[in-house]
């Protein structure tokens, strides 16, 4: 049998709208397709380049919407035709990751899969890859594995993982059992979690043998598992389009945390590898501003993403994202966030960045879906 790493396949779910990054991120151009941090690389491309050293081009698979196929292929010209899975509509992470696992296990019954979101930012590739290698070693024993991020602040926007006893597994010296998943806490509770040293942020990274992942889905959502199996059975046949059109829209929309991770934790078959690297889900413009903070510390009060020659600021601090072609002038404002696009303009503050999602909901309620 090949080594565990030689059987490892990376799965990149590239879905979701990222509504808190509106009007930059939209249904037709979600955040993973953007260079939101000004690095010169989109989030999707960065994820691809991070994973290919482990799984190679031949074992790196992307799950995305049909509407994004052309842009994904343009950004990832190395992506093999048989390694892109197109969704007619979003059905949440269990369906996306589960279908990828079902397709891969039919190619290789001993496949190990790792799921890593297309729209997250990782600060240290070497530390990340070391954590994934440990996770693959643990997954090869039959456990479901997640990578938890060592928290550096009492964040209330993430779920938490309570790490338990160390595990003795060759190739995974930092592996620990998972005692529990915890929903997003209050600030006071998050402070207690941070002080205890027992909790990690849930970054939504899951690694498992493909057959074990499918067993967990089947045990907890048998109807969903049957649908995924039916599609996977038809995947390399002429019946694929008909089966997908009939089965996919009826699959339950539910996150993999609820169908795999939490049940596995309760049964004592979930492990965690602590990740000692910078991680950000780039969930809102406060995240973007924080990630660009180095530029601000270098003496730039207003950090600009886009055409800086079109931005004028006087006694102002914050973030400006250009793209509408207009001159953007900011005067006398602290912590401002301005996002200018051809058909929509957002003005908020970093402190209120989470409320952008409510703006999106209000636009939808008013029927202004052309800008969503």
**SS3 sequence, the chain?**
CCCCHHHEEEEEEECCCCHHHCCCCCCCCCHHHCCCCCCCCCHHHHHHHHHHHHHCHHHEEEEEEHHHHHHHHHHCCCCCHHHEEEECCCCHHHHHHHHHHHHHHHHCCCCEEEECCCCCEECCHHHHHHHHHHHHHHHCCCCEEEEEECCCCCCCCCCEEEEEEECCCCCCCCCEEEEEEECCCCHHHHHHHHHHCCEEEEEEEEEEEHHHHHHHHHHHCHHHHHHHHHHHHHCCCCCHHHHHHHHHHHCCCCCHHHHHHHHHHHCCCEEEEEECCCEECCCCHHHHHHHCHHHHHCCCCEEEECCHHHEEEECCCEEEECCCCCCEEEECCCCEEEEECCCCEEEEEHHHHHHHHHHHHHHHHCCCHHHC
What is the reported pTM?
0.93
| pLDDT reported for residue 298 | 52
pLDDT at 299 over 80: no
First to last CA, the chain: 49
Comparing CA positions, the residue from 223, 232, 220, 231 lying closest to residue 252 is 223
| pLDDT reported for residue 148 | 96
| pLDDT reported for residue 294 | 59
* Mean pLDDT, rounded, for 222-249: 97
More confident position, 235 or 305: 235
| pLDDT reported for residue 295 | 53
pLDDT at 28 over 60: yes
% pLDDT > 70, the chain = 98
Residue 157 — pLDDT band, cuts 50, 70, 90?
confident
- Omega within 30 of 0 (cis) for the link into 347: no
CB neighbourhood size of 72 (10 A): 22
* Mean pLDDT, rounded, for 307-321: 90
Do you know the residue count of the chain? 372
Taking each helix axis as running N to C, give the angle between helix 222-234 and helix 210-220, from 0 to 180 degrees, rounded to the nearest 10: 140
Least confident of 28-42, 67-81, 115-129, 207-221: 28-42
What is the tens place of the pLDDT at every residue in 115-152?
Answer: 999 999 998 889 999 999 999 999 999 999 999 999 99
CA 105 from centre of chain: 23
Q: Domain residue spans in the chain?
A: 4-280, 285-366
CATH topology of domain 4-280: Spore Coat Polysaccharide Biosynthesis Protein SpsA; Chain A (3.90.550)
More confident position, 1 or 223: 223
């Amino acid at each position: 049998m090949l080594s565990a790493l030689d059987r490892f396949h990376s799965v990149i779910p590239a879905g979701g709208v990222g509504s808190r990054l509106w009007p930059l991120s939209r249904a037709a151009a979600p955040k993973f397709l953007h260079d939101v941090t000004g690095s010169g690389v989109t989030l999707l491309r960065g994820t691809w380049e991070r994973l290919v050293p482990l799984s190679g081009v031949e074992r790196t698979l992307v799950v995305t919407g049909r509407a994004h196929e052309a842009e994904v292929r343009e950004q990832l010209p190395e992506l093999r035709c048989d390694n892109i899975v197109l969704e007619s509509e979003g059905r949440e992470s269990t369906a996306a990751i589960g279908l990828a696992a079902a397709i891969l296990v039919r190619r290789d019954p001993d496949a190990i899969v790792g799921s890593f979101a297309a729209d997250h930012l990782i600060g240290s590739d070497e530390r990340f890859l070391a954590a994934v290698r440990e996770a693959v070693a643990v997954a090869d024993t039959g456990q479901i594995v997640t990578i938890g991020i060592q928290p550096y602040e009492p964040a209330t926007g993430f779920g938490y993982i309570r790490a338990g006893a160390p595990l003795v597994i060759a190739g995974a010296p930092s592996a620990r059992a998972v005692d529990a998943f915890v929903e997003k806490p209050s600030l006071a509770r998050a402070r207690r979690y941070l002080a205890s040293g027992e909790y990690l942020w849930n970054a939504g990274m899951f690694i498992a043998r493909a057959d074990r992942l499918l067993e967990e889905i089947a045990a907890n959502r048998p109807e969903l598992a049957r649908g995924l199996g039916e599609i996977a059975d038809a995947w390399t046949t002429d019946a694929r389009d008909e089966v997908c059109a009939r089965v996919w829209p009826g699959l339950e929309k539910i996150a993999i945390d609820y169908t795999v991770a939490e049940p596995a934790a309760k049964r004592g078959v979930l492990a965690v590898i602590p990740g000692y690297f910078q991680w950000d889900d780039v969930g809102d413009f406060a995240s973007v501003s924080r990630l660009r903070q180095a530029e601000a510390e270098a003496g730039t009060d207003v950090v600009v993403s886009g055409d800086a020659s079109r931005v004028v600021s006087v006694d102002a601090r914050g973030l400006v994202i250009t793209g509408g072609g207009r001159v953007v002038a900011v005067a006398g404002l602290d912590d401002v966030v301005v996002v200018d696009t051809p058909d929509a303009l957002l003005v908020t503050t970093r402190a209120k960045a989470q409320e952008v999602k409510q703006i999106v909901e209000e636009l939808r309620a008013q029927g202004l879906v052309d800008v969503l």
